[in-house]
Structure 1
Amino acid sequence: MHSETHLQLHHVRAAELRAQADAHRLATEAKRPGELRTRLGWTLVEVGLRLAAAPRPAIA
């Protein structure tokens, strides 16, 4: 194979890999807000349950 042809194929393959990596990164970033929203929601549920629970008597 001619060296310039090989180099051109290398550049094409590198561009394809970069595009795949960018797509994967964007898909991963898109999932993060939902995960944060879920954690925040469960934290709020936990706080609400603690506030709604009957207070325990203080140990002296």
Structure 2
Amino acid sequence: MHPDTHLALHQVRTAGLRAEADAHRLAAAARRPRDLRNLRTRLGWTLVEVGLRLTTPPRTAASVP
């Protein structure tokens, strides 16, 4: 097979694979709404904050002379 023909076939295959990957990426992004991701992020950070508050010792009030 001529090298230029071989290269052209690889380029066509690469373009097809990239298009397929883009289609899968767009379909995956469409499956999960952004609001749900935002809610999950906020819930996750809230749980982290609660966990940190539970593990730190309570502060004692300083006595005023």
RMSD between aligned alpha carbons? 2.3
User: Percent of pairs identical after alignment?
Assistant: 64
Runs of 4+ in structure 1 over 3 Å off: none
TM-score norm. by structure 1 comes to 0.56
Gaps of 5+ in 1: 41-60
| 2:28 is equivalent to residue 36 of structure 1 | no
TM-score norm. by structure 2 comes to 0.52
**Partners of 2:2 and 2:35 in 1: CA distance:** 50
Gaps of 5+ in 2: 41-65
TM alignment of 1:1-60, pairs within 5 A: 1-33=1-33, 36=36
